[in-house]
Amino acid sequence: METNSWANKTFNETKASSESLLKELRLPTIRRFPKYLRVLWDLSSLGRDFVSSDKIANELNIDPITVRKDLAFTGVIGKPRIGYSIPLLINGIEQLIQSNGQTNILLIGAGNLGRALLGYGGLEKHGYNIVAAFDSDLNKVGTTIHNKQVYNIEQLTEITEKVNIEIGVLCIPEDVAQKTATFLVKAGIKAIWNFTNTELKVPEHVTVLSEDLASSLAVLSVNMKRNSNKKAKEE
């Protein structure tokens, strides 16, 4: 049997193996996928059908070898001198990182950050459905933000009993973060996207992803110091 045969895998094989590939996916690769998608969407809208790993790497300022390794997870086979099929890549990446079927989301906390997230189209683009937003501020309750109804936080149980919610997005003050998380877990939620600076304690089976601006700021800060040290030495 030959080892290096191009373009023999069918689309169905790709799809069938996606579950096992999922296990092998590493964090840095997953983080790069949406960046690839952005480049691919752009090229696609320009009417291009194929793209090389070099081209993608250039756009994103990363190494082409990294790109090829990452793209290998989609199961899409590139052709020498041509590159990869853009539609197949888009499909392949989406298979890996998008939700399967309808996934319902609640957003808790309709402050500025919450509003910003309601305006961010990414959730819908990835196959998620924002069901509603919640807030304790009665001035906000009853309004709609980006077409989403804002409910009183007291009505949370009411809604979670009626609709199957899989993800909760927490944009609330720290002091109520753990309490709310615990409530959501009891309501059967599967994942929490945590925009508070609290380390949430949840059971094993609940996926938590925390955003931490302070961590980012620390990185920015250190990088700046390094850069200025560098410049100081040059002078």
Partner DNA sequence: TATTTATCGATATCAAAATATCGATAAATA
Partner DNA sequence: TATTTATCGATATTTTGATATCGATAAATA
81 binds, among DNA, its own copies, none (CB under 5 to 8 A by kind): DNA
Q: How far is the CB of 224 from its own copies (least distance, A)?
A: 5
List of residues contacting its own copies (CB under 8 A): 19, 22-23, 25, 27, 30-35, 37-38, 59-61, 96-100, 111-113, 115-117, 119-120, 122-123, 126, 166-167, 190-191, 193, 197, 199, 205-207, 209, 211-231
For residues 4 and 89, which CB has a smaller minimum distance to its own copies in the complex? 89
Location of structure tokens 């609290």: 198
72 binds, among DNA, its own copies, none (CB under 5 to 8 A by kind): DNA
List of residues contacting DNA (CB under 7 A): 2-7, 26-29, 52-54, 62-66, 68-69, 71-72, 76-84
Q: Is 207 helix (H, G, I), strand (E, B) or coil?
A: strand
123 binds, among its own copies, DNA, none (CB under 5 to 8 A by kind): its own copies
Q: How far is the CB of 15 from its own copies (least distance, A)?
A: 14
Q: How far is the CB of 38 from DNA (least distance, A)?
A: 17
Residues 6 or more apart whose CB falls under 8 angstroms from that of 6 comprise 77, 78, 79, 80
Q: How far is the CB of 211 from DNA (least distance, A)?
A: 17
Q: Is 35 helix (H, G, I), strand (E, B) or coil?
A: helix
Location of structure tokens 């003050």: 173
Are the C-beta atoms of residues 114 and 133 closer than 8 Å to each other?
yes
- Residue 83 is classified by DSSP as B
Closest by CA to 117, choosing from 56, 128, 50, is 128
Are the C-beta atoms of residues 67 and 57 closer than 8 Å to each other?
yes
Are the C-beta atoms of residues 170 and 196 closer than 8 Å to each other?
yes
22 binds, among its own copies, DNA, none (CB under 5 to 8 A by kind): its own copies
For residues 80 and 122, which CB has a smaller minimum distance to its own copies in the complex? 122
Residue 172, phi then psi, degrees to nearest 5: -120, 170
For residues 2 and 204, which CB has a smaller minimum distance to its own copies in the complex? 204
How many whole angstroms separate alpha carbon 206 and alpha carbon 189?
7
